[in-house]
Structure 1
């Protein structure tokens, strides 16, 4: 979008006439959205004694994934796991190219542990198990043993637990009730005092918040105009792995309409190197750092990069894709890859099922051949080029040193035992991570960097945390930001005296 053009969503819609509002409901805190950040905010505000109403556009809560980061939880202390907090902050800042606010990153680092301990205590009482995934590997990139997983159903277990905890303390959740507008006094100069929503009958209801409104509506990945406006061109048209229909940037827009400021463009999005996805799960065999070649049959990168960096390399190739190639030794070799987080095929989360390969072969998503020549024909790359690429790769693997792209030596594997396999590697967009600028009290800021009284944000509706690329070497960070800032926002709003303090 041309910088001189104004997007349609930047112009506030006409006010809703007071005569059209059929009902007014008074409460202390209104939370908009019921994802992980919203559920945590509701549970926390209710725990602090506030009367809480939670508005959700959909018919149930929203969740995804499985990993949650903490730096020094009671489980980590018990296991003797220590990490360097300052190095983690620096890692996040570096991946953001310092386009974020270090004070907000530090706020997360200083609070995620006691929030995780609160969740662990809640889990113990709810018969939910929390385990550690301390997987790390020798690498050229700092990586940290900080993953926590809620079992048996991962983030669904966490979301259910938070919902039950909040409702047991009085949270009133209104499903299928989309928020439409914020109410702000004084022509965008005063306090945010409530939310106008549409109930299940289609009527407007105004929820008046004595203490505060917390925006937790997720990202805007299902709003094509916002995607076009804020994301860099290379990732605007990517297929999307996860994006609830309700994630259309409602909270971002409502914030803008009352004077909030948005993160600078281009916004940060989580992008994935993606093989295939089927009913048996993510096909992680194809995502291991085997030999990758492009449509010309040429090796083009160090295959063992953090997700976002790897995706940037894939997007530079003809057609924006590559081929991952491995041979019959895969069962012996994939454990050596020591892949982390969502690429980890081994314990404790075992994101790999041997049936996946059988299924992928049967469906034609993985191609198999008895020779490199035959494989080249099947994936439609120049035969000589692929043969040269595999010959060179085998030479480097036997030397134990990647002189071409610098891949870590342990992840160099030869291609010499048929059959040979190939899986197409493409790039997908997961979620958008930028949002409304906030301060260390989770208050939304206006364009003069002043807090808007009575308005808070958390999760992917909030900004100031990410900048350029998602730091996948700090695994579980987005979920951790969601529940850490959800809790802080809920507690801060519950303490709000109605004057923004």
Structure 2
């Protein structure tokens, strides 16, 4: 909190020099989750977009590519191909460097200070199942970095570090899969000894507060919820997945919803950039993941609902239309402005589960990002930031404070470097 403004000013100057301007987006006054309830969290966010005078060579850079270019211009080098094997310690317990596994063999690097920014353990199925048993019941897609194997956390623990006791996974409600798919590790991947989920990536409209139902056609939670609420609730539902449906008023609805955070991408691409509904959804329709139909009965068929489940699906839609007309969600209490209709063709539906981005239950740290041992004492020479560092989240990602994950990573890492250099952050 004390240093986030300084961090933004620092990043803003870097981005400005590369031809990027900062954009500010905020709640429209309705307050996501803040109408008719006692708690109100005003969500705000900032993004960077290329100016017209931004050089083409910079405009095509991804975020981390731009930062690496900046690092190089400062006279430093990012070296790849170094897989962490272990941290080195002296007789006092201080960390004095690390050993890495490289193509040329093991390499030892001595250092006065080491900052662990190796991410979480999302790519380690064994750690996931051990620390987050609910995830295998509700995940359908992966969006993690393959290098997030938890090795940094384990290496630090081998050196005496303490880990957060409570797990905290970054789960998003965007794991779109083909109709009929169930959540969890696929049978084939388990048999091969390399657990994988049915899909990859994120279907951003999954975070929009449209009507959602289980595979029996029943509405089972308030869709105006944090990213991980739907997948976690679905863990107790048939197949660990759920259905999301909307009608031809998609563009108008998402503009009214005005979702923020990374969920705003749907609104920005469909309306602000001007792609429109058809172009935005076409790829997913062609993949057979999003179902598009002229009637609600055809939509139910496309989502593989039969018999009583199909009847319940249609009845739930009728009930939801009644709630929209009344502008009151008497069933689950969703804010009126987040209600929508299912009356205008074409109709759309998708099967969803959770997408796992990463984990944030990392190493216990103090206010200077120094890693603590199991007696809550500082381990000299060892720092942690980003998802490898803990002491912030528990149970999940508090996404009502938009940008908290990236903002925390940047602010904490900058503080750690300044602390090592003896500078005031």
TM-score higher than 0.5: yes
Is 1:193 the equivalent of 2:103? no
Of residues 48, 51, 55 in structure 2, which corresponds to 1:150?
48
Aligned partners of 2:209, 2:363: CA distance in 1, in Å? 36
Aligned partners of 1:331, 1:214: CA distance in 2, in Å? 45
Q: Secondary structure at the match of 2:3?
A: helix
Q: Is the 8 A contact 1:213 1:493 kept in 2?
A: no
Higher-RCO chain (CA-CA 8 Å, sequence separation at least 6): 1
Q: 1:248-290, CA deviations, whole angstroms, 9 ceiling, x for partnerless residues?
A: 112111101110001003x100111115399xx9544454222
Aligned partners of 1:403, 1:342: CA distance in 2, in Å? 29
Question: How far does residue 176 in structure 1 lie from its aligned partner after superposition?
Answer: 0.9
Q: Secondary structure at the match of 1:274?
A: strand
Q: Is the 8 A contact 1:346 1:352 kept in 2?
A: no
Aligned partners of 2:275, 2:347: CA distance in 1, in Å? 19
Is 1:321 the equivalent of 2:241? yes
Question: How far does residue 366 in structure 1 lie from its aligned partner after superposition?
Answer: 1.9
| Alignment CA distance shift 1:170-1:417 (3 Å) | closer
Which region of structure 1 is more displaced relative to structure 2, 396-405 or 385-394? 385-394
Could you list the runs of 5+ residues in structure 2 that have no partner in the other structure? Answer: 35-39, 51-57, 179-200
Is 1:306 the equivalent of 2:245? no
Runs of 4+ aligned structure 1 residues displaced above 6 Å come to none
Aligned partners of 1:423, 1:342: CA distance in 2, in Å? 19
Matched residues, number: 381
Which region of structure 1 is more displaced relative to structure 2, 362-371 or 136-145? 136-145
Of residues 366, 381, 386 in structure 2, which corresponds to 1:439?
366
| Alignment CA distance shift 1:319-1:115 (3 Å) | same
Aligned partners of 1:255, 1:172: CA distance in 2, in Å? 24
Aligned partners of 1:236, 1:403: CA distance in 2, in Å? 29
Of residues 233, 243, 267 in structure 2, which corresponds to 1:346?
267
Aligned partners of 1:154, 1:358: CA distance in 2, in Å? 26
TM-score normalised by length of structure 1: 0.70
Of residues 106, 131, 148 in structure 1, which corresponds to 2:23?
131
Is 1:365 the equivalent of 2:292? no
Q: Is the 8 A contact 1:183 1:196 kept in 2?
A: yes
Question: How far does residue 350 in structure 1 lie from its aligned partner after superposition?
Answer: 5.1
Q: Is the 8 A contact 1:434 1:466 kept in 2?
A: yes
Aligned partners of 1:360, 1:208: CA distance in 2, in Å? 49
* Structure 1 residue aligned with 2:163: 262
Question: How far does residue 148 in structure 1 lie from its aligned partner after superposition?
Answer: 1.9
CA RMSD in angstroms, aligned pairs only = 2.7
| Alignment CA distance shift 1:221-1:350 (3 Å) | farther
Q: 1:36-82, CA deviations, whole angstroms, 9 ceiling, x for partnerless residues?
A: xxxxxxxxxxxxxxxxxxxxxxxxxxxxxxxxxxxxxxxxxxxxxxx
Could you list the runs of 5+ residues in structure 1 that have no partner in the other structure? Answer: 1-108, 497-501
Is 1:419 the equivalent of 2:361? no
Q: Secondary structure at the match of 2:110?
A: strand
Aligned partners of 1:135, 1:351: CA distance in 2, in Å? 21
Aligned partners of 2:59, 2:159: CA distance in 1, in Å? 36
| Alignment CA distance shift 1:236-1:329 (3 Å) | closer
Aligned partners of 2:293, 2:418: CA distance in 1, in Å? 59
Q: 1:215-252, CA deviations, whole angstroms, 9 ceiling, x for partnerless residues?
A: 11111111222222222334477344322222211211
Question: How far does residue 116 in structure 1 lie from its aligned partner after superposition?
Answer: 1.0
Q: Is the 8 A contact 1:240 1:430 kept in 2?
A: no
| Alignment CA distance shift 1:154-1:135 (3 Å) | farther
Of residues 85, 110, 115 in structure 2, which corresponds to 1:214?
115
Q: Secondary structure at the match of 1:346?
A: helix
* Structure 1 residue aligned with 2:71: 166
Aligned partners of 2:66, 2:304: CA distance in 1, in Å? 50
Which region of structure 1 is more displaced relative to structure 2, 436-445 or 380-389? 380-389
Q: Is the 8 A contact 1:128 1:157 kept in 2?
A: no
